Amino acid sequence: MVEAKYDYDCILSLIVTTSDLTPKAKQEAEQFIVDYWRGGIFEQKLMEWGEWQPMDEKVELVST
Residue 15 near residue 29 (C-beta atoms within 8 A): yes
pLDDT digit string (tens) for 3-32? 655 666 667 778 888 777 889 888 888 888
User: What value does the mean pLDDT take over residues 44-55?
Assistant: 76
- Residues in Cβ contact with 18 at an 8 Å cutoff, skipping those fewer than 6 apart: 38, 39, 42
Residue 36 — pLDDT band, cuts 50, 70, 90?
confident
Instruction: Spell out the domain ranges in the chain.
Output: 2-49
Phi, psi (degrees; rounded to nearest 5) at 44: -60, -45
Mean pLDDT for the chain? 75
CA distances (Å), origin 32, targets 19, 22, 37, 48: 20, 15, 15, 27
45 φ/ψ angles, rounded to the nearest 5 degrees:
-65, -35
